[in-house]
Amino acid sequence: MDVLTMATATVSEYQSIPLSESKAREWVAALPLADPGETTRRLFHGLVDLNRRAVPPQTRLAIGESLRPVVDMVLENLQRHLVARAFPLTQKSQKIFELAQSLMLEFAGLWQVTALDILTRKEGNKKQLQQAIYQALDYMGRVLLLTYSVYARTRETLWHDIHHLYLLAVENAVDQIKGRDPSPGAPTIEARYVQMNLLALVKPYSLRQGEVERVMHYFITHTAAVRISGEAGDDVGANAHVAMLNSDEPAVLMPVSDLPLSPTVRVLHLNALLATMDASIRQLDKVGASVLVLHEGLSRNLAKRMIFHLTTVRNRSFNRFPKKEKIGMVTRMSDVLAVVQEVSKQEVDSEEEDMLFNVFVSGDYATEEDVKYSVAAQADEQAGARIQTWQVLNSSVGGYGLCWDGKEESGARVGEIVALRDLTKDMSVWMIGVIKWMEFVRGTGLCCGVELLSTKAMVLTVHQVLNRGLRQKLPVQGLMLPSIAGVRPDPALVLPAYMFQVGDEVRLEFAEREERVRLVLLDECMGVFAYFRFTTLAEKPAVDAEDDFTALWQSL
């Protein structure tokens, strides 16, 4: 016997899960739980082997129940390694993610095979069928949650399998049966199916880091508020949330006029859920709660973004054009401020001066090339800051589709402000944008969509809030974005998040001149920064001392 055969025989001794319920329990009891790595290895290979063996469905179901506690323990251990990660994931973290995903899918496959065997062999009862379909859907739902949380693309056929299992449950009248030991908020197959589609409807790749779990927790609490039916009723408006059970896509929001007449169509009725979310936002607004206050796990701006995605059919506003170019990108507010402050001083012409409050500040550099080299060097010298080169996939008037194919972390975050510069043009300036979504595609890289906020910007400094006190120290820096014809009629301010509020009257400085402005409108959904509209405060006219009788009235 050669070395390879011996190694295979040794491994197989631990990999193979016995095909009887009692011996399977003994196999589970013998797992070295004190060694998570070895336990995970045996469990994964054992499931792969078991799913390829012919086993009576009742036996497979019983084995699955014996394995479930240790599978959950192993998954919990793996997912600890994926908390608060930068993207793209490191090579080790990516392998951990793929292992956790594969383990979930193998265990879901065990239950899926059990359900199909019950139906094709005509063995088992409705209770066992309900249990098998429910567990298969539950672990597929966990795959979705994990996948969305790290901005990874879902595997092909996953949604097809989810829809197919739900359809089997409906056809066999087990979708409404309450199972034993269900997941929170989902006592039935239908409820678990609804939860998964709700998560997809809020555009998870557009959520900020850590928000997917909070959104799912909210939906778990309010699943009962959602109803599912085979047709759009009177409570559905112009648009409906529709799942196509013969597709490989999750539910989408679409015009009712486009709704196909098919027995595989399911409509999710979200009116009660939306009303509950809207009431929560109104309550927080009424009591004047801070944007940091959470209500059932949701901040006010997260709830608003969820409602937006659940109620808005978005079509592309601008045509996109494929490109094969490079673009420089800087992330983090401090680094964006640094590069804009240096370059924008050199690049404004007379027309752009008017948009930037008629200011032109000359630098100490002999040429523009000197400026660019200086800025690049300065950005590189800053701790943790660098100008990264991203691949442009496509572009439009509204922004860019970008891709990072490097192995190191990109520093990109959904909702983060970024500065972009076209590296193909010598005279290009820094543009300001915000990352609206991210998705990691294996073999391609980390893709993201950047919405362009302004092609020009200037750095400002806030020195004082005139009408209230602040706990935070001043001064702080931000950006002033000029008005853009046809896009943004008024200029806007980009300031640090959670410091300022609507109604604040602030004294700020830009280009060596001071202005007093009132913050009049905050877009909480723009990004992880404060995006304010403002009005300029008129200077109070000086009153001649001889005409000021205020003190006299009190003395008479």
Distance of alpha carbon 400 from alpha carbon 386, whole angstroms = 20
- The 8-class DSSP code of residue 208 comes to P
Question: Which ranges of 16-50 does DSSP label H, i.e. alpha helix?
Answer: 21-29, 36-50
**Where among 263, 284, 311 does a domain terminate?**
311
539 CB burial (10 A radius; 0-12, 13-18, 19+): exposed
Return d(Cα 227, Cα 216) in angstroms, integer: 17
Asked whether 230 and 268 are in contact (CB, 8 A), the reply is: no
- Residue 386 region by backbone torsions, left for phi larger than 0, else alpha for psi between -120 and 50, else beta: beta
Is residue 246 in some structural domain? Answer: no
User: Do 77 and 49 belong to one domain?
Assistant: yes
In a domain, 63, yes or no: yes
pLDDT at 106 over 70: yes
Side chain identity at residue 497, one-letter code: A
Q: How many domains does the chain have?
A: 4
C-alpha 338/C-alpha 162 separation (Å) is: 48
Of 427, 454, 481, the residue at which a domain comes to its end is 454
Cα-based distances in Å from 472 to 85, 259, 497: 28, 52, 12
pLDDT tier, 105 (very low <50, low <70, confident <90, very high otherwise):
very high
Question: Which residues are bridge partners to 432 per DSSP?
Answer: 419, 454
- Inside any domain, residue 254: no
pLDDT at 31 over 70: yes
Rounded Cα distance between 403 and 391, Å, is 5
The answer to whether 361 touches 460, Cβ cutoff 8 Å, is no
Q: How far apart are CA 407 and CA 541, in angstroms?
A: 60
Nearest one of 334, 434, 327, 423 to 382, comparing CA atoms: 334
Are 411 and 368 members of one domain? Answer: yes
Measured between alpha carbons, how far is 103 from 47 in angstroms, rounded to an integer?
8
Same-domain check for residues 51 and 158: yes
Judged by DSSP in three states, 253 sits in strand
pLDDT at 7: 37
C-alpha 397/C-alpha 542 separation (Å) is: 47
Least confident of 29-33, 364-368, 472-476: 364-368
Instruction: Tally the C-alpha atoms within 13 A of residue 331's C-alpha that lie toward its C-beta.
Output: 19
Q: In the chain, pLDDT over 70 holds for what percent of residues? A: 83
Q: Which two tokens stand for residue 356?
A: 């930037």
Three-class secondary structure of residue 237 per DSSP: coil
CB contact at 8 A, 534 and 505: no
Contact (CB, 8 A) for 441 and 434: no
Q: Looking at the domain assignment, is residue 269 inside a domain?
A: no
Residue 181 pLDDT more than 80? Answer: yes
Same domain as 418, residue 306 = no
pLDDT higher than threshold 70 for residue 63: yes
For residue 323, is pLDDT > 80?
no
Closest C-alpha among 159, 150, 147 to residue 251? 159
Q: Looking at the domain assignment, is residue 249 inside a domain? A: no
Lowest model confidence (mean pLDDT) among 112-116, 286-290, 293-297, 504-508: 286-290
**Same-domain status, 305 and 330:** no
Question: Are 182 and 42 members of one domain?
Answer: yes
In angstroms, the Cα distances linking 103 to 46, 158, 175, 358, 388 are 10, 14, 25, 61, 35
Query: Do 27 and 167 fall into the same domain?
Result: yes
| Longest Cα–Cα distance in the chain | 117
- Do 441 and 468 belong together in one domain? no
Name which of 400, 402, 394 is nearest 448 in CA terms: 402
Report DSSP state, residue 497. Answer: T
Give 281's pLDDT tier (boundaries 50, 70, 90). Answer: confident
Question: Do both 136 and 282 map to the same domain?
Answer: no
Residues 440 and 467 both lie in one domain? no
Q: Which of 132, 145, 246, 128 is nearest to 195 (CA)?
A: 145
274: helix, coil or strand?
Answer: helix
Distance CA 126, CA 132 (A): 10
Contacts of 124 (CB under 8 A, 6+ apart): 57, 58, 61, 118
Q: Is residue 64 in some structural domain?
A: yes
Give the model's confidence band at 37: pLDDT under 50 very low, under 70 low, under 90 confident, else very high: very high
Give the closest residue to 333 by CA, choosing from 191, 503, 497: 497
Same-domain status, 154 and 184: yes
Region 354-375: mean pLDDT is 40
Q: Is residue 405, in this structure, part of any structural domain at all?
A: yes
Which residues contact residue 512 at a Cβ distance below 8 angstroms, ignoring those fewer than 6 apart? 359, 361
Same domain, 444 and 466: no
The stretches of 35-85 forming alpha helices (DSSP H) are 36-50, 57-80
**CATH number of the domain enclosing 364:** 2.40.10
Query: What type of residue sits at position 357?
Result: F
- Cα torsion 11, 13, 14, 15: sign: positive
pLDDT, one tens digit per residue, over 195-230 is: 999 999 999 999 999 999 999 999 999 999 999 999
Report, as an integer, the average pLDDT of 340-349: 58
The Cα 229–Cα 326 span in angstroms is 48
Does the pLDDT value for residue 537 go beyond 80?
Answer: yes
Query: At residue 216, what are phi and psi to the nearest 5 degrees?
Result: -65, -40
Residue 375 pLDDT exceeds 80: no
pTM of the entire predicted model: 0.85
Alpha-carbon span 527 to 436, nearest angstrom: 8
Among residues 403, 426, 454, the one where a domain terminates is 454
Which residue segment(s) compose the domain that 507 sits in?
458-536
432 located within any domain: yes
Would you state the pLDDT for residue 507? 94
The stretches of 202-260 forming alpha helices (DSSP H) are 211-222
Sheet with 265-269: list strands edge to edge.
227-229, 265-269, 239-244, 252-255
| Residue 550 pLDDT exceeds 70 | no
Alpha carbons 390 and 119: distance in angstroms, whole number: 51
**In this model, does residue 447 exceed pLDDT 70?**
yes
Whole-angstrom distance, CA of residue 536 vs CA of residue 510: 14
